[in-house]
Structure 1
């Protein structure tokens, strides 16, 4: 079985929030309702609180829009106004969100703390980039803008803007070469015990 899985944007389901303040498009998850990790894009349309996810660590990156300001527990407000600005917080924290000026789109990574930890990187893709396999690691690649091709040992996958790729190296594997032009969001998941 190939360690590479292409996830086209057309396969992702967009759902309205219960509080009617926005939309979530789930891109991928590991596990069922009690997920190990979950990746989605949120469209925030109005001010309001975030849902609580006890036991989960969260990373949020601003993708589009003029930004948001977050009140996280008793910490000073955190303002994200530049594309790919990121904030990390506990899923059980009390989080209130205010839009700076109009709706935003945000990249969300949730990792169940007792199972995995996530490292999130946003970067341009100019020429080749190599991801070396690490045992117990899973890499998630989202093409935010532009295009990319991914080559494994026996696979060649083309990714357009909005498409994603999951490279599961938990049982070993060979290096992954990404080539193209654009912007990527990369997430590396490792077992929490590492």
Structure 2
């Protein structure tokens, strides 16, 4: 029956949907039934050849791992775990104190400083002495640096004022009385 319909439509020169063929226009090849059949073949091929991910997902589902029941630890094991954690914390603390690889760890948190070195720095470098003991004297260093900057600016300003003052005195002394007597009104 389908073959008869195809033969009729071919004789009439119309497509399946009833549109007439125009000059130079191509007709569609195949019917809706053949398209669905080709789609089915594509789907069957895809099912027959699963992708890599599908294969491994199926394999993982097939070999499900059964978890072992959890057992309560012995009381001695808990104490050992706590001691191990304490030791781990101490080791991590020591590692943090080491600033460079190969450097020896200090037995205590005290770093000895030489008083003689501090005195020499104070004699020759003044306020930069506090960089030697910066951990405790940081506030002294910054306070001194700010005060020195303000003092230096005020000294320059004061010297400038004194210099202008002296210039005014010398200028007055250099000029004679005629200059002042002939000054325009």
TM bucket (normalised to shorter chain) is under 0.3
**Structure 2 length normalisation: TM-score?**
0.15
Higher relative contact order, structure no. (Cα contacts within 8 Å, ≥ 6 residues apart) = 1
Larger Rg: 2
Q: Return the structure number with greater strand share.
A: 1
Q: Return the structure number with greater helix share.
A: 2
